[in-house]
Amino acid sequence: MRILVAAKLSLDAGQLKFDSSGHPLIDACPRRMGDADKCAVEEAVRAKEKLGAETVVVTIGGSAEHARIIRDAYAMGIDKGYIVRINEPETLSLPTVARIIAEIYRRTGPYDLVFLGVGSNDTHSSMLAPMLSSMLDIPLLPSIDKLDVKNDGVEGIATMEDGSYTFRARFPAVISITSEANEPRIPTLRAILKSKRIPIQEVSPEDLGVNVERIRLENVERFILPRRRILMEAGDQSQIEEAVGKLLEALRSEGVI
């Protein structure tokens, strides 16, 4: 069995700060492999441990931090990694990202399974897995919280707005994994040291025959919806009574209760 995992270096949105004019301080924000991507890597390694598989990771981007994503995946147990060298991967259009992953699938395959995170930590479109499934014309198991890989196929359970869906498909298939799917392993020191010796294959979009399209980004700025921001201290009992009284009065005059 062969499994391809796509993992993205993404910003930790919870730690993003803004300057006084509302521009994001992107360079000061920590970046790491997305939470869901990490769970996708974990699922691939578990499938390998259970059934035997060659596991391959791909990431898109040119910096040393991008190479670190591959090393992190190696440390978790992935066998082989491709880095698609391109600068400013943040401004690639989603169809370009999808085509790059599709070409890696075609040119370094055959693969039985492709794992993606259901959404990256920073842009979270969740559209890549359906795009890939349609481009490759193979089944999609979307938003999977619970995965069971068997010798001849997969079963996955997804929670959506209206209930739970169980998907069953034969290979090959594209699967997007949620960050609820598992608890990713923390690599041992030995695994981390070993990961440094595994080579990383470098390819360019030209090698893959992919025409690079960029989005036309004009501006990024802090987004806060105007809210009233009326705060009430409620430390002791009398403050609590007063705060609750004021709150109820306000909610009544807003007409929401």
Partner 1 sequence: MRILVYADNASWLKQLRGLADKLEAEACALVFDGNLVEEASRLFSRVYYSSLQAFNPLQAAHVAAKALEKCNPDIMAAPCTNKGRIVAGLFSALSGGLPVSDVISVEAEGEELRVKRLVFGGTASASLRVNVPAVLCVSPGAMPEATYRGSIGVVEELRAESAGGIEVEFKAREAVGVEPDKADVVVVAGRGVKRREDLSMIRELAELLGGAWSVTRPLAADYGWSDTWIGISGLSIAPRLYIGVGVSGQPHHMMGVRGAKIIVAVNKDPNAPIFNEADYGIIGDLYKVLPVLIRRLKERGA
Residues 98 to 137: which contact ligand FAD by CB under 6 A?
119, 121
Q: Is 37 in the site for ligand FAD (CB under 6 A)?
A: no
218 touches, from partner 1, ligand FAD, ligand AMP, none (C-beta below 5 to 8 Å by class)? partner 1
- Beta carbon of residue 35, minimum distance to ligand FAD (angstroms, whole number): 4
Which residues are bridge partners to 58 per DSSP?
A: 6, 82
Evaluate whether 158 touches 145 at the Cβ level (below 8 Å): yes
Cis before 110? omega within 30: yes
70 touches, from partner 1, ligand FAD, ligand AMP, none (C-beta below 5 to 8 Å by class)? none
d(CA 34, CA 115): 13
- Beta carbon of residue 234, minimum distance to ligand AMP (angstroms, whole number): 39
Count, residues near ligand FAD per rule CB under 6 A = 4
Find, among 184, 61, 197, 52, the residue nearest to 117 by Cα. 184
Helix runs in 63-145, H state only: 64-76, 94-108, 128-136
Structure-block tokens of residue 45: 């390694």
- Residues forming the site for ligand AMP (CB under 6 A): 6-8, 34, 36-37, 40, 58-60, 89, 97, 116-117, 119-120, 123-128
- Beta carbon of residue 164, minimum distance to ligand FAD (angstroms, whole number): 17
- Beta carbon of residue 208, minimum distance to partner 1 (angstroms, whole number): 18
CA angle 54, 60, 61 (to 5 degrees): 135
Helix runs in 52-93, H state only: 64-76
230 touches, from partner 1, ligand AMP, ligand FAD, none (C-beta below 5 to 8 Å by class)? partner 1
Instruction: Characterize 87-101 residue by residue with b for buried, 16 or more Cβ atoms within 10 angstroms of its Cβ, and e for exposed.
Output: eebbebeebbbbbbb
250 touches, from ligand FAD, ligand AMP, partner 1, none (C-beta below 5 to 8 Å by class)? partner 1
188 vs 211, beta carbon nearer partner 1 = 211
- Footprint of ligand FAD (CB under 6 A): 14, 35, 119, 121
